[in-house]
Amino acid sequence: MAGLSVVEAEQTAVSAGAGLRVENVTHVFETGAESLMALNGVSLEVEAETFYGIVGPSGCGKSSLLLMMAGLLQPSEGRIAIGDETVSKPLPEDIGVVFQESSLLPWKTARENVEFPLYLRGVDRRVRERAALEMLELVGLGEFANRRPHELSGGMKQRVAIARGFCQNPDILLMDEPFAALDEQTRMTLGDELLHLWDRNKKTVVFVTHSLTEAVYLCDKVAVMSARPGEILDIVDIDLPRPRTYDMMATEKFGRLRARIWELIRRTQQK
Amino acid sequence: MSAGADKANDGRPLWLAVVASPLTMRLACLGAILLFWELAPRMEWISPVMLSTLSSTVMIGFANIDVFLANLGVTLGSLLLALVIALGGGAVVGVLLGSIRPLRNTLLPIMSSIYAVPLVVVYPVFTAWVGIGVESKVLFGGLYGFFPMLLATAAGIRTVDSRYMLAARSMGATRVQVILHVMLPAALPSVISGVRIGSALTAIGVVVAEMMAATAGIGFLITQNRTMFNTAEVYFGVLLVVVLAGTIDWLVSVFERRAADWYPQKVRAI
Ligand SMILES: Nc1ncnc2c1ncn2[C@@H]1O[C@H](COP(=O)(O)OP(=O)(O)O)[C@@H](O)[C@H]1O
Ligand SMILES: [Mg+2]
């Protein structure tokens, strides 16, 4: 990927191949008179270049946790760290985010959206245009480079968002239910494409999803969270070989892992 | 006509598609209004003192075209200055009030209350302060359009989808970059509707100010002829104001089509 290597040359990331540590993070939202505890004493060790899943009932604080990992929200207690550095503000060269629904800027074309993170850090125009076009080619949208988001389908928009994340080229990519709004066939295809991209350009990925199949299929580890206030119930190792293939879904091991996660979630939902 | 051409539009016959097209309908409505304008005074459905016929209005107008154009020029000059105050001032103050929370919470409600007041009632006070020259109608027209522009801009800034800002910040956008590349473009559709309402109200403000107290301009000309019962001249003046308002609206839509083509037009409020 020539485009990415050009961008990499311009980059001076704090740490190469970084992992992410969540240390005893508690978060309380203060809204007027009320206060709401979203997370309670969450600790995670996300090793470099792992595909790390987070699942848990809706409202348990997954998105809030991701915002804190991105430096967009300060934890009430505890800290998030890359190596020795505490994440207290966005670090675009270390951490990127792909949001739940498309957060593409509607007035920009697909290419302009993908090159936006490079534009923001002052990368030369021709370099960033080439990098963006190459990224779009990789997600199969080369022909759609000059279309605006409203001219693209849901799946295409999420492809562009992922291309933007990879074009920003951080060590750590946080993804908050990136495929939630898509139909099952599209989300399975995009899951495969994401694994493919990740394989060619290894990053630490933190992937929030509510699909257990998706979690098992994509991830190396899956942290299962309790209902609000979110706590870590268990971390399930997904020791399936890579590259992952569809026939693995039919194996007994896949089923056992999925059932294990479901059992944890079922119990916390009954609570 | 072949059968194929007959069924050009959704299987409807071609003649029906043409007759029922929005453009045809619009032209037909306009034609009906003009026809009524000509016939009503002529047939004495309406007294010719109240309404002059279309033909006599246009003829009188062109007979005195130099007077009308000179006064139209005066109005246009005042209008341009007033638009700078209304649109420029409204945009700047709107961005400030929309993006700075303490200002927004304290001043924005006051601004919408002022917008609800019919400002015409304070015009006499206004002229006492600044006289009846060009300044007063420029200021008055500017003030008239300032509030809707301010409110639309502030609303546009305030309702920017927070996901866009989070995404931009996570990609490393500075505060200034967020304003330039996210807030302003996202607010553009709302700002344009502010331009649309704001410029229409500014034009009203200027003409009304001219009608109430001025020494030149289309509004002045209308009032002056009105007191002398020159009905045709009055209506020619009105016609010019209508053309002026239509031109402004057309310019805004041209600007809108170019500047905010990413914005689904169907959702447009006004
Ligand atoms: N900005 C906020 N202010 C107040 N409460 C919030 C805010 N963001 C999220 N919450 C609340 O915190 C809890 C966790 O939200 P979230 O992190 O979005 O959960 P999840 O992504 O797991 O569904 C929810 O109860 C939600 O209502
Ligand atoms: Mg969420």
Q: Which of B121, B122, B76 is nearest to B216 (CA)?
A: B76
What are the two backbone dihedrals, phi and then psi, of residue A172, each rounded to the nearest 5 degrees? -120, 125
The residue whose CA is least distant from atom 21 of ligand 1 is A63
Q: Flag if B262 and A72 touch (Cβ within 8 Å).
A: no
| pLDDT in the model for residue B10 | 64
Chain CA centroid to CA B247, Å: 9
DSSP 8-class letter at B270: -
Residue of chain A with shortest Cα separation from B184: A107
Chain A, chain B: beta-carbon pairs less than 8 Å apart: 62
* Contact yes or no for A248/A92 (Cβ under 8 A): no
DSSP annotation string for A157-214: HHHHHHHHHHHH--SEEEEESTTTTS-HHHHHHHHHHHHHHHHHS--EEEEE-S-HHH
Of B169, B171, B260, the CB nearest to A116: B171
Q: Which of A36, A97, A206, A233 to mutate to test the pocket of ligand 1 (most atoms within 8 A of CB)?
A: A36
- List of chain B residues whose C-beta atoms are within 8 Å of the C-beta of residue A80: none
Dist CA A25 CA A6 (whole Å): 37
Domain count, chain B: 2
Of A90, A148, A150, the CB nearest to B172: A90
Expressed in angstroms and rounded, the spacing between residue A154 Cα and the centre of ligand 1 is 24
Q: Which domain covers residue B7, as residue numbers?
A: 3-42
Q: Report if residue B240 sits inside a domain.
A: yes
- Say whether both B13 and B98 belong to one domain: no
Enumerate residues 149 to 178 of chain B having a beta carbon within 8 A of any beta carbon in chain A.
161, 163-164, 166-173, 177
A64, A94, A107, A113: best to mutate for the B interface, most B CBs within 10 A:
A107
Contact A233, A261 (CB under 8 A): no
Q: Tell me A4's DSSP state.
A: H
* Mean pLDDT computed over every residue of chain A: 91
Q: Which ligand is nearest to the CA of A61?
A: 1
Query: Higher model confidence: residue A232 or residue B134?
Result: A232
B108 and B187 together in one domain? yes
User: A31: Cβ below 6 Å to ligand 1?
Assistant: yes
B28 and B154 co-located in one domain: no
A106·B167 Cβ contact <8 A: no
pLDDT at A177 over 60: yes
Length of chain A: 271
Q: What is the CATH number of the domain that holds B148?
A: 1.10.3720.10
Contacts of B172 in chain A (CB under 8 A): 90, 92-93, 117, 120-121
Question: What would the pLDDT profile of A27-41 be if each residue is shown by its tens digit?
Answer: 999 988 899 999 999
For residue B49, being part of any structural domain is answered with no
Are B170 and B199 members of one domain? Answer: yes
Within this chain, do residues B195 and B124 fall inside the same structural domain, yes or no?
yes
Nearest to B169 among A72, A93, A121 (CB): A72
Task: Using pLDDT thresholds of 50, 70 and 90, give the confidence band for residue A271.
Answer: low
B177–A120 C-beta distance less than 8 A: yes
Q: Atom 23 (ligand 1): residue with closest C-alpha?
A: A59
Same domain for B77 and B20: no
Quick check: is B208 in a domain?
yes
More confident residue, A202 or B12: A202
Query: C-alpha angle B257/A112/A151, rounded to 5°?
Result: 55
Q: Would the CB of A27 count as within 6 Å of ligand 1? A: no
For residue B130, being part of any structural domain is answered with yes
| Chain B residues near residue A97 by CB distance under 8 angstroms | 166-167, 170
**Closest Cβ–Cβ partner in A72, A106, A107 for B170:** A72
State pTM to two decimals: 0.79
Closest-approach residue (CA) in chain B for A107:
B262
Does B96 lie in the same domain as B35?
Answer: no
Residue B38 pLDDT exceeds 90: yes
Is the CB of A83 inside a 6 Å radius of any atom of ligand 1? no
Task: Tell how far CA A242 is from the center of its chain.
Answer: 19
Regarding whether B17 and B89 lie in a shared domain, the answer is: no
Tell me the pLDDT tens digit for each residue of B66-89.
Answer: 999 999 999 999 999 999 999 999
What's the whole-number average pLDDT of chain B?
A: 87
CA-nearest residue of chain A to B189? A107
E runs forming strands in chain A: 20-31, 34-46, 51-55, 77-82, 85-86, 95-98, 172-176, 204-208, 221-225, 232-237
Residues in chain B within 8 Å Cβ distance of A164: 171
Do B181 and B63 share a structural domain? yes
The pLDDT of residue A11 is above 70: no
Which residue is it, tokens 């119990």?
A267
Q: Which domains does chain A have, with CATH numbers?
A: 2-270 (3.40.50.300)
pLDDT tens track for B109-124: 898 888 888 888 888 8
Q: pLDDT of A49-97, one tens digit each?
A: 999 999 999 999 999 999 999 999 999 999 999 988 999 999 999 999 9
Average pLDDT over every residue of B231-260:
90
Whether B6 has a pLDDT exceeding 70, the answer reads no
